[in-house]
Each structure stands twice: as C-alpha cells, then as structure tokens.
C-alpha cells in the first residue's frame, strides 16, 4: 500500500506502460509498439467519435526527443489523451475486473512445479486432484494533484485484500499486480454487501491520501482475480499410497516463491522432500529409514531398539528383556546364570551368578510373597530357611531341609515355575530337576 505520508515523486516510467496497457486493453483498444517509446492503437468504428474520428491513434508514453505536436499524443496522467482514457474507464463503474497478466491458468502449467521439489525413490508421485480457484485482490487507483498546481499529477495505487485490509507490498510484488490484463470471462459473483465494503475502504484511502495541499480523486478499483491452487499429491509404492495436500498461490508455485509441503511420515513425524518406503511397504521419508543390523531389512528407525551390550540397532524380534536388569539385549548376547539358569544380560553377571542370585535375602513365612507361594504350592511347606530375591518379572527363591537345598524361579504374576533345581546342602552346583519331576516338589 502506498504510504499517504510519503512525498509524491514523479511517476516511475517503467510502471506507467503496464498500467496504460491494461487501460487500453480493458477499453478494447488493441495497442502495439511502433517505435522507441511509441505505440499505436486502432479505434473501432463505433468509438472513433471519442478520438476525433481517427482510425489509428499514435501515442508516446512520455514526451521525448523526436516526439512533437502532430506526431503522437502523449499518454500521461495529465495529458488530454490520458484524461480521456481515464474518464472512459471510470464510465465502466467503480470496479473493473482484471487478472495478473502472466499468472498460470491451467493445472498443466503447475504440475512440473508441484513435482519438482520431491525425490521419490522406488515409487511415483502424481496429482490426485488439483483445482485453480479465483480469489479477489483489490488495487485502488487515485489521481493525486497538488492544489498549487506546481507538481504534475500522479497515479497512486493502493492494494488491499478482500476483507478489506492493506496488502503486504511483498505479496503484491510476488503476485505481479503491477502487470495486469483484462479478465475476458465473467468474474465470480460478489455480493452487494461486499462491494459496499470495498467501496467504503476505497473512500477511506482517498481521505488518507488527501492533505492540506493535495487532493486524491478516486479513479477505479481493479478487482484482480488471482489463481490459488489446492489439491493433493499422491505418492504410490506398489499397492500402497499416501497423500499430501497443498494450497498456495499459483504464481508462487511457478516462480518458486512457494513449494508444496514436504511429505510427513505418519509414524516418526519427520518431514522431507525425499520420499521412499520400507521393505514392508510403509511410505515414509528417507531420513526415517534405517537398516536392522541383524536382518538387513530397511525399516523405520523407530522400529529399532538398541542392544545394551553391543550397541547394535535391531528389530524387537532379535532382542530379549533381561529379567534382572530390564535391559534389552540381543538374544545371542544373553548369558546363563550358573545358579538359577536364567538368561540375563552380561551386565547382571558376576562370577557366573546373576544379581538376583547374589542378593537373596532371608524371608519369613508370614511375608505376603512367600505366603502366596506356599498357598499355591502346598508341598513346599516342608522346606525351611527360605531366601528370596525378586526382579521385575520373577521371584528367585532358595530353601533347605536337613540334607537338601531347593531353588525355584517363579513368575511374579502367575507364580508359574520356569526353573527348578535341587542340590545337597554342602554342594556348590545346582542340578536342574527335569520338568517331569517338578510335581514332586510343587504338587
């Protein structure tokens, strides 16, 4: 939006031709270049009365060497020809439809720019739907004059959104609102209330541009219909697919000002423009792919766990939970305790025994844990001198009689036995009791 408080400098000659080109084309006066800074347009028969009966009018964008009276009409804000054209434009009404001259108008023009950011390994990407919808932006044009007549009149453009609110200059520039063309098809309908709000906003801006020594006259409001693209990109890998929606100004997509969003892995949440799939077909981003160090399969890195012993990353099927430390350890790294025969992490072993077997504590029969166990296995009642250790998953117990010792490993939840061993009281080893004989001890 032009700042109403900034000094009024002369018009930028580079901008003037595009504005006048839009005016002439809107008035259905086909203009063509015919020399340096010179143009001409043919006048339809029904309009020649407005141009002194001439069939062709030659114009100069600004007075310059070689352009004199009778050679070409100067096309400027305060020239007779400029005033005549502006009055004819105003006769169309306060709002005139327009479009950015170079904006893309077809999905075919957009497709390469939608696909370009993505690298798809092992699959394809295509559009599963794309629409180009017209969205209005406003460009109010004012003729600003100094009351003392010392400075030349100039045109001031104020850009606004349809709300209406000031439009960021960067957005105006990126959508190329300085280069307009007539809209050749009927524009979408705008409600009377909306038109009234737009007109009121234009009046407010005229008041802001008017000061004690200058006045702003409303000329026209161009309703610029800009294309906005929305749809979905479809990524296909075999019989699996995933979509990614996009929504952006069509001009921004073509110019690279905007890109469709990166693909988002639904599991890891990572985003990237490099899209691929795991060996089992899950679509993700390359940054979320990792290889299982046991199977070599390409999976999501979130599928892998780290072995507490080797540091290798592997799928859960290759790891076991140590019942003593809780660590996740590769199955081939587990070590068997020489006392309770549990397979545990090497970190739990010292001198061949696991931490549970090294931490057995005396326990009385009225301890709720032992009372529960004796209630489940009444035959154990004949054993004395109970000692117990517990891990997250199991109870490890020892007991003795006059000549024998008993060792049990029981699941904490179900009390199901997983290991039974018996030895002489003075023996150091714990021979395992065959499963077929467990009933003799447990009942």
- Is residue 262 exposed (0-12), middle (13-18) or buried (19+ Cβ within 10 Å)? middle
Q: Long-range contacts made by residues 9-15, C-beta under 8 angstroms, separation at least 24?
A: 9/154, 10/152, 10/154, 11/76, 11/77, 11/154, 11/155, 13/61, 13/62, 15/178
- Note the pLDDT tens digit of each residue in 7-56: 333 344 433 478 999 999 999 998 888 877 788 899 998 888 888 889 99
Domain ranges of the chain: 16-228, 360-442
- Note the pLDDT tens digit of each residue in 221-259: 999 999 999 999 999 999 999 999 999 999 999 999 999
Residue 354 contacts residue 337 (beta carbons within 8 Å): yes
> Does 192 score more than 60 pLDDT?
yes
- Note the pLDDT tens digit of each residue in 126-173: 999 899 999 999 999 999 988 776 567 889 999 999 999 999 999 999
Residue 399 contacts residue 380 (beta carbons within 8 Å): yes
Return the residue matching tokens 């025994």.
353
Q: How many CA atoms lie within 13 A of 415 on its CB side?
A: 10
| pTM metric for this prediction | 0.77
- Note the pLDDT tens digit of each residue in 377-416: 999 999 999 999 999 889 999 999 989 999 999 999 999 9
Q: Long-range contacts made by residues 195-198, C-beta under 8 angstroms, separation at least 24?
A: 195/95, 197/164, 198/95, 198/138, 198/160, 198/162, 198/164, 198/223
Give whole-number Cα distances, 205 to 3, 16, 91, 210, in Å.
10, 21, 21, 9
pLDDT of res. 95: 96
H-run or E-run covering 83: helix 80-90
pLDDT of res. 65: 44
Give dist(CA 139, CA 136) in Å, integer. Answer: 10
Question: Of the ranges 2-6, 146-150, 202-206, which one carries the lowest mean pLDDT score?
Answer: 2-6
Residues making up the chain, counted from first to last: 443
pLDDT of res. 63: 64
User: Which residue in 244, 250, 297, 299 sits closest to 272, CA to CA?
Assistant: 244
The percentage of residues in the chain with a pLDDT greater than 70, rounded to a whole number, is: 93
Give dist(CA 181, CA 222) in Å, integer. Answer: 10
Tell me the two tokens of residue 413. 């939840």
- Note the pLDDT tens digit of each residue in 284-312: 999 999 999 999 999 999 999 999 999 99
Question: What average pLDDT does the chain have?
Answer: 91
User: Which residue in 256, 257, 255 sits closest to 103, CA to CA?
Assistant: 255
């Amino acid at each position: 939006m032009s700042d109403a408080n900034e000094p009024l400098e002369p018009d930028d000659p580079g901008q003037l031709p595009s504005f006048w080109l839009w005016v002439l084309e809107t008035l259905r006066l086909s203009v063509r270049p015919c020399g340096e800074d010179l143009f001409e347009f043919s006048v339809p028969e029904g309009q020649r009365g407005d141009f002194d009966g001439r069939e062709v009018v030659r114009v100069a964008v600004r007075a310059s060497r070689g352009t004199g009276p009778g050679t070409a009409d100067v096309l400027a804000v305060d020239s007779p020809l400029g005033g005549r054209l502006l009055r004819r434009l105003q006769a169309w009404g306060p709002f005139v439809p327009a479009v950015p001259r170079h904006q893309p108008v077809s999905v075919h023009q957009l497709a390469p720019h939608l696909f370009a950011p993505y690298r798809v390994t092992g699959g394809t990407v295509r559009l599963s739907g794309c629409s180009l919808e017209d969205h209005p932006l406003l460009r109010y044009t004012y003729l600003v004059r100094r009351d003392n007549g010392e400075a030349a009149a100039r045109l001031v453009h104020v850009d606004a959104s349809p709300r209406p609110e000031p439009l960021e200059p960067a957005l105006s520039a990126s959508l190329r609102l300085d280069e307009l063309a007539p809209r050749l098809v009927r524009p979408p309908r705008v409600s009377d209330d909306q038109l009234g709000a737009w007109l009121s906003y234009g009046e407010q801006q005229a008041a802001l541009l008017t000061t004690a020594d200058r006045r702003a006259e409303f000329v026209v409001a161009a309703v610029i219909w800009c294309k906005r693209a929305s749809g979905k990109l479809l990524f296909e890998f075999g019989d699996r697919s995933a979509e990614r929606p996009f929504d952006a100004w069509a001009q921004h997509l073509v110019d690279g000002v905007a890109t469709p969003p990166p693909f988002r892995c639904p599991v890891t949440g990572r985003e990237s423009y490099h899209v691929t799939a795991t060996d089992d077909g899950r679509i993700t981003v390359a940054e979320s792919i990792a290889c299982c160090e046991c199977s070599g399969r390409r999976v999501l890195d979130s599928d892998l766990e780290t072995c507490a012993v080797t540091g290798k990353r592997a799928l859960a099927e290759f790891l076991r939970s140590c019942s003593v430390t809780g660590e996740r350890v590769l199955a081939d790294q587990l070590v068997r305790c020489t006392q309770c025969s549990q397979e545990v992490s090497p970190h739990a072993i010292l001198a061949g025994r696991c931490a549970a077997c090294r931490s057995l504590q005396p326990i009385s029969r009225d301890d709720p844990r032992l009372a529960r166990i004796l209630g489940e296995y009444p035959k154990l009642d004949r054993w004395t001198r109970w000692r117990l250790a517990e891990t997250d998953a199991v109870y490890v117990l020892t007991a003795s009689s006059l000549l024998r010792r008993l060792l049990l490993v029981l699941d904490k939840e179900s009390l199901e036995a997983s290991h039974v061993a018996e030895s002489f009281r003075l023996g150091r080893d714990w021979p395992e009791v065959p499963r077929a004989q467990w009933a003799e001890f447990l009942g």
